[in-house]
Chain A
Amino acid sequence: MTTPPNDSTQSSAPQSTPADELKAIFLTCLLDSLIALDSGVKVREDSSLMSVKISESALLKVMTLLKQDSRFDFDQLQFHTVLDWPEEQRMECLYLLNSTKKSQELLISVSVSREKPQLPSVSKLWAIAEWQEREVYDMFGITYENHPDLRRIFLDDDWQGFPLRKDYQDEFMLRKPW
Protein backbone atom coordinates (compact mmCIF):
# COMPACT_ATOMS: atom_id res chain seq x y z
CA MET A 1 0.00 0.00 0.00
CA THR A 2 2.85 2.35 0.74
CA THR A 3 4.49 1.90 -2.63
CA PRO A 4 3.23 4.40 -5.18
CA PRO A 5 1.36 2.86 -8.13
CA ASN A 6 3.40 2.46 -11.28
CA ASP A 7 3.07 5.20 -13.80
CA SER A 8 0.97 3.50 -16.43
CA THR A 9 2.22 5.62 -19.32
CA GLN A 10 5.82 4.76 -18.59
CA SER A 11 5.31 1.01 -18.29
CA SER A 12 3.13 0.69 -21.38
CA ALA A 13 5.45 2.64 -23.68
CA PRO A 14 8.86 0.94 -23.68
CA GLN A 15 11.93 3.12 -24.06
CA SER A 16 13.17 3.37 -27.62
CA THR A 17 16.23 1.22 -28.11
CA PRO A 18 19.33 2.40 -30.00
CA ALA A 19 18.22 0.14 -32.86
CA ASP A 20 14.89 1.99 -33.10
CA GLU A 21 16.66 5.35 -33.11
CA LEU A 22 19.01 4.21 -35.84
CA LYS A 23 16.04 3.04 -37.88
CA ALA A 24 14.33 6.42 -37.44
CA ILE A 25 17.49 8.26 -38.57
CA PHE A 26 17.80 5.91 -41.53
CA LEU A 27 14.20 6.51 -42.57
CA THR A 28 14.49 10.31 -42.32
CA CYS A 29 17.70 10.29 -44.34
CA LEU A 30 16.08 8.01 -46.91
CA LEU A 31 12.92 10.11 -47.24
CA ASP A 32 14.95 13.32 -47.68
CA SER A 33 16.96 11.76 -50.49
CA LEU A 34 13.87 10.35 -52.18
CA ILE A 35 11.95 13.64 -51.99
CA ALA A 36 14.90 15.34 -53.72
CA LEU A 37 14.35 12.97 -56.66
CA ASP A 38 10.56 12.78 -56.66
CA SER A 39 8.36 15.33 -54.90
CA GLY A 40 5.39 12.94 -54.80
CA VAL A 41 6.97 10.46 -52.39
CA LYS A 42 4.54 9.22 -49.75
CA VAL A 43 4.93 6.73 -46.93
CA ARG A 44 2.49 3.84 -47.23
CA GLU A 45 0.89 3.62 -43.81
CA ASP A 46 -0.95 0.28 -43.90
CA SER A 47 2.15 -1.86 -44.21
CA SER A 48 4.11 -4.00 -41.78
CA LEU A 49 7.24 -3.08 -43.74
CA MET A 50 8.87 0.30 -44.16
CA SER A 51 7.32 1.31 -47.48
CA VAL A 52 7.18 4.33 -49.77
CA LYS A 53 5.09 5.20 -52.82
CA ILE A 54 6.92 6.81 -55.70
CA SER A 55 5.89 7.91 -59.17
CA GLU A 56 6.47 5.85 -62.31
CA SER A 57 8.81 8.40 -63.89
CA ALA A 58 11.18 8.48 -60.90
CA LEU A 59 11.45 4.69 -60.53
CA LEU A 60 14.76 4.15 -62.24
CA LYS A 61 16.41 7.17 -60.58
CA VAL A 62 15.23 6.12 -57.12
CA MET A 63 16.29 2.51 -57.61
CA THR A 64 19.74 3.52 -58.84
CA LEU A 65 20.21 5.74 -55.79
CA LEU A 66 19.10 3.03 -53.37
CA LYS A 67 21.40 0.46 -54.97
CA GLN A 68 24.49 2.58 -55.42
CA ASP A 69 24.47 5.03 -52.51
CA SER A 70 26.60 3.63 -49.69
CA ARG A 71 24.27 5.10 -47.05
CA PHE A 72 21.49 2.73 -48.13
CA ASP A 73 23.28 -0.12 -49.91
CA PHE A 74 20.24 -2.15 -50.94
CA ASP A 75 22.12 -4.97 -52.60
CA GLN A 76 19.30 -7.50 -52.97
CA LEU A 77 15.91 -7.40 -54.64
CA GLN A 78 13.96 -9.74 -52.39
CA PHE A 79 10.83 -9.95 -54.54
CA HIS A 80 8.89 -8.06 -57.16
CA THR A 81 5.16 -8.50 -57.35
CA VAL A 82 1.93 -6.69 -58.19
CA LEU A 83 -1.38 -5.82 -56.55
CA ASP A 84 -4.29 -5.50 -58.96
CA TRP A 85 -6.87 -2.74 -58.36
CA PRO A 86 -9.45 -3.21 -61.16
CA GLU A 87 -11.95 -0.64 -59.84
CA GLU A 88 -9.27 2.05 -59.79
CA GLN A 89 -7.96 1.00 -63.22
CA ARG A 90 -4.41 0.63 -61.94
CA MET A 91 -1.91 -1.94 -60.80
CA GLU A 92 0.51 -1.40 -57.96
CA CYS A 93 4.00 -2.81 -58.51
CA LEU A 94 5.94 -3.62 -55.37
CA TYR A 95 9.68 -4.09 -55.03
CA LEU A 96 11.10 -5.32 -51.72
CA LEU A 97 14.70 -4.26 -51.35
CA ASN A 98 17.01 -5.79 -48.80
CA SER A 99 20.40 -4.72 -47.55
CA THR A 100 22.54 -7.65 -46.37
CA LYS A 101 25.11 -5.27 -44.89
CA LYS A 102 22.73 -3.00 -43.01
CA SER A 103 19.89 -5.49 -42.37
CA GLN A 104 17.30 -3.03 -43.63
CA GLU A 105 14.25 -3.63 -45.78
CA LEU A 106 12.31 -1.20 -47.88
CA LEU A 107 9.19 -1.70 -49.97
CA ILE A 108 8.89 0.51 -53.05
CA SER A 109 5.46 0.87 -54.61
CA VAL A 110 4.72 2.24 -58.10
CA SER A 111 1.33 2.50 -59.81
CA VAL A 112 0.81 1.77 -63.52
CA SER A 113 -2.31 1.79 -65.68
CA ARG A 114 -4.02 -1.54 -66.41
CA GLU A 115 -4.40 -0.96 -70.17
CA LYS A 116 -0.89 0.20 -70.98
CA PRO A 117 1.32 -1.21 -68.25
CA GLN A 118 4.92 -0.34 -68.94
CA LEU A 119 7.85 0.14 -66.58
CA PRO A 120 11.61 0.48 -66.96
CA SER A 121 13.48 -2.73 -66.17
CA VAL A 122 15.72 -2.79 -63.11
CA SER A 123 17.62 -5.91 -64.24
CA LYS A 124 20.76 -3.80 -64.80
CA LEU A 125 20.84 -3.08 -61.05
CA TRP A 126 19.81 -6.49 -59.68
CA ALA A 127 20.37 -9.41 -62.04
CA ILE A 128 17.61 -11.50 -60.45
CA ALA A 129 15.07 -8.90 -61.60
CA GLU A 130 15.33 -10.50 -65.03
CA TRP A 131 13.40 -13.53 -63.79
CA GLN A 132 11.16 -11.66 -61.38
CA GLU A 133 10.06 -9.28 -64.15
CA ARG A 134 9.42 -12.22 -66.46
CA GLU A 135 7.16 -13.72 -63.80
CA VAL A 136 5.28 -10.46 -63.40
CA TYR A 137 4.85 -10.18 -67.19
CA ASP A 138 3.60 -13.76 -67.26
CA MET A 139 1.03 -13.24 -64.51
CA PHE A 140 0.02 -9.57 -64.89
CA GLY A 141 1.09 -8.46 -68.38
CA ILE A 142 3.38 -5.64 -67.32
CA THR A 143 6.07 -5.05 -69.95
CA TYR A 144 9.54 -3.78 -69.21
CA GLU A 145 11.69 -1.46 -71.29
CA ASN A 146 15.28 -2.60 -71.88
CA HIS A 147 14.65 -6.08 -70.49
CA PRO A 148 17.26 -8.50 -71.95
CA ASP A 149 14.91 -11.46 -72.47
CA LEU A 150 11.23 -10.68 -71.95
CA ARG A 151 9.02 -13.74 -72.41
CA ARG A 152 6.69 -15.89 -70.35
CA ILE A 153 8.36 -17.90 -67.60
CA PHE A 154 5.86 -20.47 -66.28
CA LEU A 155 3.08 -20.57 -68.89
CA ASP A 156 3.31 -21.51 -72.56
CA ASP A 157 4.49 -18.87 -75.02
CA ASP A 158 1.08 -18.85 -76.75
CA TRP A 159 -1.02 -18.50 -73.57
CA GLN A 160 -3.76 -15.86 -73.82
CA GLY A 161 -4.35 -13.43 -70.97
CA PHE A 162 -2.65 -12.84 -67.64
CA PRO A 163 -3.95 -15.20 -64.94
CA LEU A 164 -3.31 -13.30 -61.72
CA ARG A 165 -5.35 -10.30 -62.83
CA LYS A 166 -8.62 -10.13 -60.91
CA ASP A 167 -10.81 -10.21 -64.03
CA TYR A 168 -9.07 -13.15 -65.70
CA GLN A 169 -11.39 -15.86 -67.02
CA ASP A 170 -10.82 -19.06 -68.94
CA GLU A 171 -12.72 -22.27 -69.59
CA PHE A 172 -10.69 -24.29 -67.08
CA MET A 173 -11.61 -22.15 -64.10
CA LEU A 174 -14.27 -23.52 -61.82
CA ARG A 175 -16.54 -21.30 -59.77
CA LYS A 176 -17.22 -22.80 -56.33
CA PRO A 177 -17.15 -26.49 -57.19
CA TRP A 178 -18.47 -27.48 -53.75
Chain B
Amino acid sequence: MVTVEIKTKISSLDERINAMALQGESPLGTQEYFVNMGPQHPSTHGVLRLVLKLDGETVREIIPVLGYIHRGMEKKAETLGYRQQVHLTDRLDYLCSVMNNWVVSAVVEKAAKIEINDRIQTIRTIFAELQRVQSHLLWWGVFGMDLGAFTPFLYGFRDREKITKIFEETIGARLTMNYIQPGGLMYDIHPDFVKDVKAMISYMKPMFKEYDELVSGNIIIQERLKNVGILDAQSAVALGASGPVLRASGVAHDLRKIKPYGVYEKVDFSIPIGTVGDCWDRYSVRMLEMRESLKIIEQLIDSIPEGKHLTMKPGAKIRPPAGIYYEQMETARGIFGVFLHSDGSEKPSRVHYRTPNFHNLWCLTKIAPGGRIGDLVSIISSLDVVVPDIDR
Protein backbone atom coordinates (compact mmCIF):
# COMPACT_ATOMS: atom_id res chain seq x y z
CA MET B 1 0.00 0.00 0.00
CA VAL B 2 1.26 3.49 -0.87
CA THR B 3 1.76 5.81 2.06
CA VAL B 4 -0.31 8.89 1.54
CA GLU B 5 1.04 12.22 2.64
CA ILE B 6 -1.73 14.26 4.23
CA LYS B 7 -0.88 17.97 4.21
CA THR B 8 -4.20 19.42 5.30
CA LYS B 9 -5.47 19.20 8.87
CA ILE B 10 -8.14 16.51 9.16
CA SER B 11 -10.84 17.25 11.70
CA SER B 12 -13.00 14.75 13.60
CA LEU B 13 -16.60 14.70 14.78
CA ASP B 14 -15.61 15.50 18.39
CA GLU B 15 -13.56 18.49 17.26
CA ARG B 16 -16.43 19.67 15.10
CA ILE B 17 -18.91 19.49 17.98
CA ASN B 18 -16.51 21.22 20.37
CA ALA B 19 -15.93 24.01 17.87
CA MET B 20 -19.66 24.39 17.40
CA ALA B 21 -20.19 24.63 21.17
CA LEU B 22 -17.81 27.59 21.36
CA GLN B 23 -19.13 29.65 18.48
CA GLY B 24 -22.19 31.89 18.63
CA GLU B 25 -24.11 33.04 21.64
CA SER B 26 -27.78 32.72 22.47
CA PRO B 27 -29.59 36.02 21.82
CA LEU B 28 -31.82 35.38 24.81
CA GLY B 29 -28.92 34.69 27.15
CA THR B 30 -30.10 31.13 27.66
CA GLN B 31 -27.80 28.15 27.70
CA GLU B 32 -27.42 26.22 24.48
CA TYR B 33 -27.19 22.44 24.59
CA PHE B 34 -26.69 19.42 22.35
CA VAL B 35 -29.10 16.59 21.65
CA ASN B 36 -28.51 13.48 19.60
CA MET B 37 -31.42 12.63 17.33
CA GLY B 38 -30.98 9.06 16.20
CA PRO B 39 -29.38 6.82 15.01
CA GLN B 40 -32.41 4.97 16.36
CA HIS B 41 -35.33 7.33 16.06
CA PRO B 42 -38.71 6.54 14.51
CA SER B 43 -38.88 9.69 12.41
CA THR B 44 -35.42 9.53 10.86
CA HIS B 45 -36.56 6.61 8.64
CA GLY B 46 -33.56 4.43 9.26
CA VAL B 47 -30.24 4.87 10.93
CA LEU B 48 -29.58 8.55 10.46
CA ARG B 49 -27.98 10.46 13.33
CA LEU B 50 -28.34 14.20 13.69
CA VAL B 51 -26.35 16.15 16.27
CA LEU B 52 -28.53 19.13 17.13
CA LYS B 53 -27.42 22.33 18.79
CA LEU B 54 -30.52 23.67 20.51
CA ASP B 55 -31.44 26.87 22.23
CA GLY B 56 -34.61 26.06 24.09
CA GLU B 57 -36.77 24.62 21.33
CA THR B 58 -35.01 26.44 18.50
CA VAL B 59 -32.58 24.51 16.32
CA ARG B 60 -29.35 26.48 15.93
CA GLU B 61 -27.23 24.03 13.95
CA ILE B 62 -27.35 20.48 12.61
CA ILE B 63 -24.53 18.02 11.97
CA PRO B 64 -25.75 14.91 10.15
CA VAL B 65 -23.58 11.90 11.02
CA LEU B 66 -23.69 9.39 8.19
CA GLY B 67 -22.33 5.92 7.67
CA TYR B 68 -24.31 3.77 10.10
CA ILE B 69 -25.46 1.61 7.20
CA HIS B 70 -22.44 2.02 4.91
CA ARG B 71 -21.91 -1.30 3.13
CA GLY B 72 -19.17 -0.44 0.66
CA MET B 73 -21.44 -0.94 -2.35
CA GLU B 74 -19.05 0.74 -4.77
CA LYS B 75 -16.15 -1.52 -3.75
CA LYS B 76 -18.40 -4.57 -3.94
CA ALA B 77 -19.58 -3.57 -7.42
CA GLU B 78 -15.99 -3.78 -8.70
CA THR B 79 -15.94 -7.54 -7.98
CA LEU B 80 -19.18 -8.28 -9.86
CA GLY B 81 -19.82 -8.73 -13.57
CA TYR B 82 -22.00 -6.39 -15.59
CA ARG B 83 -25.07 -8.64 -15.37
CA GLN B 84 -24.76 -8.85 -11.59
CA GLN B 85 -24.70 -5.09 -11.07
CA VAL B 86 -28.49 -4.77 -10.91
CA HIS B 87 -28.71 -6.94 -7.79
CA LEU B 88 -26.89 -4.37 -5.66
CA THR B 89 -28.99 -1.38 -6.62
CA ASP B 90 -32.30 -2.56 -5.16
CA ARG B 91 -30.64 -2.25 -1.74
CA LEU B 92 -29.78 1.40 -2.26
CA ASP B 93 -33.14 3.13 -2.38
CA TYR B 94 -35.33 0.14 -1.58
CA LEU B 95 -38.51 2.03 -2.48
CA CYS B 96 -37.27 2.68 -6.03
CA SER B 97 -35.70 -0.72 -6.67
CA VAL B 98 -37.07 -1.22 -10.19
CA MET B 99 -36.09 2.30 -11.20
CA ASN B 100 -32.59 1.76 -9.85
CA ASN B 101 -32.37 -1.52 -11.81
CA TRP B 102 -33.36 0.40 -14.91
CA VAL B 103 -30.58 2.97 -14.56
CA VAL B 104 -27.91 0.28 -14.20
CA SER B 105 -29.34 -1.67 -17.13
CA ALA B 106 -29.48 1.48 -19.24
CA VAL B 107 -25.84 2.35 -18.58
CA VAL B 108 -24.69 -1.21 -19.36
CA GLU B 109 -26.81 -1.20 -22.52
CA LYS B 110 -25.29 2.12 -23.54
CA ALA B 111 -21.77 0.82 -22.88
CA ALA B 112 -22.17 -2.55 -24.63
CA LYS B 113 -24.50 -1.15 -27.35
CA ILE B 114 -27.32 -3.58 -26.60
CA GLU B 115 -30.50 -2.84 -28.56
CA ILE B 116 -33.86 -3.21 -26.83
CA ASN B 117 -37.33 -3.24 -28.31
CA ASP B 118 -40.43 -1.14 -27.68
CA ARG B 119 -42.16 -3.77 -25.58
CA ILE B 120 -39.33 -3.72 -23.05
CA GLN B 121 -39.30 0.08 -22.97
CA THR B 122 -43.05 0.28 -22.42
CA ILE B 123 -43.09 -2.31 -19.64
CA ARG B 124 -40.13 -0.62 -17.96
CA THR B 125 -41.92 2.72 -18.03
CA ILE B 126 -45.13 1.24 -16.60
CA PHE B 127 -43.24 -0.44 -13.77
CA ALA B 128 -41.30 2.74 -12.99
CA GLU B 129 -44.52 4.74 -12.72
CA LEU B 130 -46.23 2.05 -10.64
CA GLN B 131 -43.31 2.22 -8.30
CA ARG B 132 -43.44 6.00 -8.12
CA VAL B 133 -47.05 5.76 -6.92
CA GLN B 134 -46.14 2.98 -4.49
CA SER B 135 -43.20 4.93 -3.09
CA HIS B 136 -45.19 8.15 -2.70
CA LEU B 137 -48.02 6.26 -0.99
CA LEU B 138 -45.61 4.88 1.59
CA TRP B 139 -44.13 8.33 2.07
CA TRP B 140 -47.64 9.79 2.51
CA GLY B 141 -48.52 7.28 5.20
CA VAL B 142 -45.27 7.74 7.08
CA PHE B 143 -45.48 11.49 6.72
CA GLY B 144 -48.80 11.49 8.52
CA MET B 145 -47.37 9.29 11.23
CA ASP B 146 -44.39 11.62 11.73
CA LEU B 147 -46.79 14.49 12.26
CA GLY B 148 -48.73 12.51 14.84
CA ALA B 149 -51.59 11.17 12.74
CA PHE B 150 -51.67 7.39 12.68
CA THR B 151 -54.62 6.88 10.30
CA PRO B 152 -52.91 7.92 7.01
CA PHE B 153 -50.35 5.19 7.62
CA LEU B 154 -53.08 2.54 7.54
CA TYR B 155 -54.75 4.08 4.48
CA GLY B 156 -51.43 4.41 2.68
CA PHE B 157 -50.47 0.81 3.32
CA ARG B 158 -53.92 -0.47 2.41
CA ASP B 159 -53.71 1.09 -1.05
CA ARG B 160 -50.02 0.42 -1.49
CA GLU B 161 -50.85 -3.26 -1.08
CA LYS B 162 -52.80 -3.18 -4.38
CA ILE B 163 -49.63 -2.18 -6.25
CA THR B 164 -47.43 -4.49 -4.22
CA LYS B 165 -49.70 -7.39 -5.27
CA ILE B 166 -49.14 -6.51 -8.94
CA PHE B 167 -45.38 -6.52 -8.37
CA GLU B 168 -45.52 -9.80 -6.49
CA GLU B 169 -47.50 -11.41 -9.30
CA THR B 170 -44.94 -10.62 -12.00
CA ILE B 171 -41.66 -10.27 -10.10
CA GLY B 172 -42.12 -12.49 -7.06
CA ALA B 173 -40.80 -9.97 -4.57
CA ARG B 174 -42.64 -7.22 -2.75
CA LEU B 175 -39.95 -4.76 -1.71
CA THR B 176 -36.40 -5.30 -2.97
CA MET B 177 -37.29 -6.25 -6.50
CA ASN B 178 -34.93 -7.23 -9.29
CA TYR B 179 -36.82 -7.09 -12.54
CA ILE B 180 -34.98 -5.08 -15.16
CA GLN B 181 -31.71 -6.46 -16.42
CA PRO B 182 -29.29 -5.44 -19.20
CA GLY B 183 -30.92 -6.42 -22.47
CA GLY B 184 -34.50 -6.54 -21.25
CA LEU B 185 -36.51 -7.94 -18.37
CA MET B 186 -35.98 -10.96 -16.16
CA TYR B 187 -39.41 -12.42 -16.98
CA ASP B 188 -42.33 -11.44 -19.16
CA ILE B 189 -45.34 -9.83 -17.51
CA HIS B 190 -47.94 -12.03 -15.82
CA PRO B 191 -51.01 -12.84 -18.03
CA ASP B 192 -53.23 -10.94 -15.57
CA PHE B 193 -50.96 -7.90 -15.45
CA VAL B 194 -52.98 -5.61 -17.73
CA LYS B 195 -56.27 -6.53 -16.07
CA ASP B 196 -54.89 -6.00 -12.57
CA VAL B 197 -53.28 -2.68 -13.38
CA LYS B 198 -56.56 -1.40 -14.82
CA ALA B 199 -58.42 -2.54 -11.72
CA MET B 200 -55.83 -0.81 -9.56
CA ILE B 201 -56.18 2.46 -11.49
CA SER B 202 -59.96 2.50 -11.20
CA TYR B 203 -59.59 1.73 -7.49
CA MET B 204 -56.91 4.38 -6.87
CA LYS B 205 -58.51 7.33 -8.65
CA PRO B 206 -61.32 8.02 -6.15
CA MET B 207 -58.88 7.41 -3.28
CA PHE B 208 -57.06 10.70 -3.84
CA LYS B 209 -60.23 12.52 -2.84
CA GLU B 210 -60.21 10.54 0.38
CA TYR B 211 -56.58 11.44 1.05
CA ASP B 212 -57.35 15.09 0.51
CA GLU B 213 -60.29 14.96 2.89
CA LEU B 214 -58.31 13.06 5.48
CA VAL B 215 -54.96 14.87 5.44
CA SER B 216 -54.53 17.66 2.86
CA GLY B 217 -57.66 19.52 3.93
CA ASN B 218 -56.85 19.20 7.62
CA ILE B 219 -56.15 22.61 9.11
CA ILE B 220 -53.67 21.23 11.69
CA ILE B 221 -51.61 19.56 8.97
CA GLN B 222 -51.67 22.70 6.84
CA GLU B 223 -50.57 24.93 9.70
CA ARG B 224 -47.73 22.57 10.52
CA LEU B 225 -46.47 22.53 6.92
CA LYS B 226 -47.07 25.95 5.46
CA ASN B 227 -44.07 28.30 5.62
CA VAL B 228 -41.99 25.67 7.37
CA GLY B 229 -38.55 24.77 6.04
CA ILE B 230 -38.54 27.14 3.08
CA LEU B 231 -36.05 26.25 0.36
CA ASP B 232 -35.99 28.91 -2.35
CA ALA B 233 -35.34 28.04 -5.98
CA GLN B 234 -31.82 29.47 -6.16
CA SER B 235 -30.50 27.63 -3.12
CA ALA B 236 -32.29 24.41 -4.09
CA VAL B 237 -30.29 24.38 -7.33
CA ALA B 238 -27.06 25.40 -5.61
CA LEU B 239 -27.46 22.75 -2.91
CA GLY B 240 -27.83 20.06 -5.57
CA ALA B 241 -31.41 19.09 -4.76
CA SER B 242 -33.39 17.08 -7.28
CA GLY B 243 -36.75 15.43 -7.70
CA PRO B 244 -39.84 16.65 -5.84
CA VAL B 245 -37.66 18.69 -3.45
CA LEU B 246 -36.30 20.77 -6.34
CA ARG B 247 -39.64 20.99 -8.13
CA ALA B 248 -41.44 22.15 -4.98
CA SER B 249 -39.10 25.15 -5.00
CA GLY B 250 -40.42 26.14 -8.42
CA VAL B 251 -37.75 24.70 -10.72
CA ALA B 252 -39.38 22.61 -13.45
CA HIS B 253 -36.48 20.19 -13.74
CA ASP B 254 -37.61 16.66 -14.53
CA LEU B 255 -35.46 14.32 -16.63
CA ARG B 256 -38.59 12.62 -17.94
CA LYS B 257 -39.32 15.86 -19.82
CA ILE B 258 -35.86 17.34 -20.34
CA LYS B 259 -34.07 14.22 -21.57
CA PRO B 260 -36.85 11.69 -22.18
CA TYR B 261 -35.93 8.03 -21.81
CA GLY B 262 -38.12 4.95 -22.06
CA VAL B 263 -41.38 5.94 -23.77
CA TYR B 264 -41.93 9.19 -21.88
CA GLU B 265 -41.74 11.08 -25.18
CA LYS B 266 -44.94 9.45 -26.39
CA VAL B 267 -47.09 10.09 -23.35
CA ASP B 268 -48.80 13.25 -22.22
CA PHE B 269 -48.20 14.33 -18.64
CA SER B 270 -47.36 17.47 -16.73
CA ILE B 271 -44.81 18.24 -14.02
CA PRO B 272 -46.34 19.67 -10.85
CA ILE B 273 -44.22 22.44 -9.38
CA GLY B 274 -44.48 24.46 -6.18
CA THR B 275 -44.14 28.17 -5.60
CA VAL B 276 -42.81 28.77 -2.07
CA GLY B 277 -40.64 25.71 -1.49
CA ASP B 278 -41.97 24.93 1.99
CA CYS B 279 -43.04 21.56 3.39
CA TRP B 280 -46.56 22.10 2.08
CA ASP B 281 -45.30 22.49 -1.49
CA ARG B 282 -43.22 19.35 -1.20
CA TYR B 283 -46.33 17.58 0.08
CA SER B 284 -48.58 18.88 -2.73
CA VAL B 285 -46.05 18.14 -5.47
CA ARG B 286 -45.89 14.47 -4.46
CA MET B 287 -49.66 14.20 -4.17
CA LEU B 288 -50.07 15.61 -7.69
CA GLU B 289 -47.24 13.45 -9.05
CA MET B 290 -49.15 10.31 -8.10
CA ARG B 291 -52.08 11.43 -10.24
CA GLU B 292 -49.73 12.17 -13.16
CA SER B 293 -48.14 8.74 -12.82
CA LEU B 294 -51.53 7.05 -13.02
CA LYS B 295 -52.24 9.15 -16.13
CA ILE B 296 -49.02 7.84 -17.74
CA ILE B 297 -49.86 4.21 -16.89
CA GLU B 298 -53.39 4.64 -18.28
CA GLN B 299 -52.02 5.83 -21.63
CA LEU B 300 -49.58 2.94 -21.93
CA ILE B 301 -51.38 -0.05 -20.47
CA ASP B 302 -53.60 -0.75 -23.50
CA SER B 303 -50.83 -0.46 -26.04
CA ILE B 304 -48.00 -2.71 -24.84
CA PRO B 305 -46.38 -3.77 -28.13
CA GLU B 306 -45.70 -7.41 -28.94
CA GLY B 307 -42.18 -8.72 -28.81
CA LYS B 308 -39.59 -10.55 -26.77
CA HIS B 309 -38.93 -9.63 -23.15
CA LEU B 310 -35.20 -10.22 -23.51
CA THR B 311 -33.20 -9.29 -26.59
CA MET B 312 -29.99 -11.15 -25.80
CA LYS B 313 -29.08 -14.68 -24.77
CA PRO B 314 -29.56 -15.08 -21.02
CA GLY B 315 -26.24 -15.57 -19.31
CA ALA B 316 -24.18 -14.14 -22.19
CA LYS B 317 -21.02 -12.35 -20.99
CA ILE B 318 -21.02 -8.58 -21.44
CA ARG B 319 -17.71 -6.86 -22.24
CA PRO B 320 -18.16 -3.18 -23.02
CA PRO B 321 -15.29 -1.33 -24.72
CA ALA B 322 -12.99 0.64 -22.39
CA GLY B 323 -14.31 4.06 -21.48
CA ILE B 324 -16.53 5.96 -19.11
CA TYR B 325 -20.30 5.84 -19.22
CA TYR B 326 -22.99 7.66 -17.30
CA GLU B 327 -26.75 7.39 -17.24
CA GLN B 328 -29.26 9.09 -14.99
CA MET B 329 -32.99 8.92 -14.49
CA GLU B 330 -35.70 10.49 -12.40
CA THR B 331 -36.64 8.19 -9.52
CA ALA B 332 -39.32 8.96 -6.95
CA ARG B 333 -36.79 10.94 -4.90
CA GLY B 334 -34.77 12.66 -7.59
CA ILE B 335 -31.95 12.00 -9.98
CA PHE B 336 -30.29 8.64 -9.59
CA GLY B 337 -27.19 8.29 -11.74
CA VAL B 338 -24.79 5.44 -12.33
CA PHE B 339 -21.24 6.15 -13.41
CA LEU B 340 -19.34 3.25 -14.91
CA HIS B 341 -15.70 2.96 -15.88
CA SER B 342 -14.87 -0.03 -18.02
CA ASP B 343 -11.35 -1.30 -18.75
CA GLY B 344 -12.58 -3.74 -21.38
CA SER B 345 -12.80 -6.76 -19.05
CA GLU B 346 -15.84 -8.62 -17.71
CA LYS B 347 -16.04 -6.48 -14.58
CA PRO B 348 -16.25 -2.71 -14.29
CA SER B 349 -13.15 -1.11 -12.80
CA ARG B 350 -15.15 1.58 -11.03
CA VAL B 351 -18.82 2.15 -10.28
CA HIS B 352 -20.16 5.28 -8.66
CA TYR B 353 -23.76 5.93 -7.68
CA ARG B 354 -25.01 9.51 -7.73
CA THR B 355 -27.84 9.14 -5.25
CA PRO B 356 -30.68 11.66 -4.81
CA ASN B 357 -30.99 11.34 -1.03
CA PHE B 358 -27.34 12.18 -0.35
CA HIS B 359 -27.89 15.51 -2.09
CA ASN B 360 -31.38 16.16 -0.72
CA LEU B 361 -30.34 15.53 2.89
CA TRP B 362 -27.65 18.18 2.52
CA CYS B 363 -30.47 20.75 2.11
CA LEU B 364 -31.58 19.92 5.66
CA THR B 365 -28.45 21.48 7.17
CA LYS B 366 -29.33 24.74 5.41
CA ILE B 367 -33.11 24.98 5.86
CA ALA B 368 -33.75 23.60 9.36
CA PRO B 369 -31.57 25.94 11.53
CA GLY B 370 -33.68 28.75 12.93
CA GLY B 371 -36.83 26.63 13.14
CA ARG B 372 -38.35 24.66 15.98
CA ILE B 373 -37.43 21.08 16.83
CA GLY B 374 -41.02 19.99 16.12
CA ASP B 375 -40.72 21.41 12.61
CA LEU B 376 -37.45 19.55 12.09
CA VAL B 377 -39.39 16.28 12.05
CA SER B 378 -41.75 17.53 9.35
CA ILE B 379 -38.83 18.88 7.31
CA ILE B 380 -36.95 15.55 7.40
CA SER B 381 -40.14 13.78 6.46
CA SER B 382 -40.94 16.20 3.64
CA LEU B 383 -37.46 15.63 2.15
CA ASP B 384 -38.40 11.91 2.02
CA VAL B 385 -34.96 10.52 2.80
CA VAL B 386 -34.14 6.83 2.53
CA VAL B 387 -30.97 6.24 4.54
CA PRO B 388 -29.45 3.18 2.74
CA ASP B 389 -29.38 5.35 -0.37
CA ILE B 390 -27.32 8.01 1.42
CA ASP B 391 -24.76 5.67 2.97
CA ARG B 392 -24.52 3.19 0.10
Contact = CB atoms under 8 A, between A and B. Distances in A.
Contact of A128 (B8, B14, B75, B239): B239
B325 A116 contact: no
A1 to B, nearest CB: 32
Interface stretch (B194-202, B251-259, B368-376): B251-259
Contacts of A149: 11, 16
B62 to A, nearest CB: 13
Interface residues of B, number: 54
Contacts of A48: 110-111, 323-327
A128 B359 contact: yes
Interface string A121-135: 000001110110000
A109 B383 CA distance: 32
16 contacts: A48-B324, A75-B237, A78-B240, A78-B335, A81-B339, A94-B324, A100-B253, A103-B259, A118-B8, A127-B238, A127-B239, A127-B366, A128-B359, A145-B8, A153-B66, A154-B70
A83 B67 contact: no
Given A103-B259, A127-B240, 18 more contacts: A44-B324, A46-B321, A47-B325, A48-B323, A49-B324, A78-B240, A78-B328, A78-B335, A78-B354, A81-B339, A118-B7, A127-B362, A128-B359, A139-B74, A151-B16, A152-B67, A157-B14, A163-B75
A85 B114 CA distance: 28
A176 to B, nearest CB: 9
Interface in A20-77: 44, 46-49, 51, 75-77
Main DSSP-derived SS at the A contact region = loop
Nearest to A96: B326
A171 interface: no
Interface hub of A79, A127, A156 (most chain B Cβ within 10 A): A79
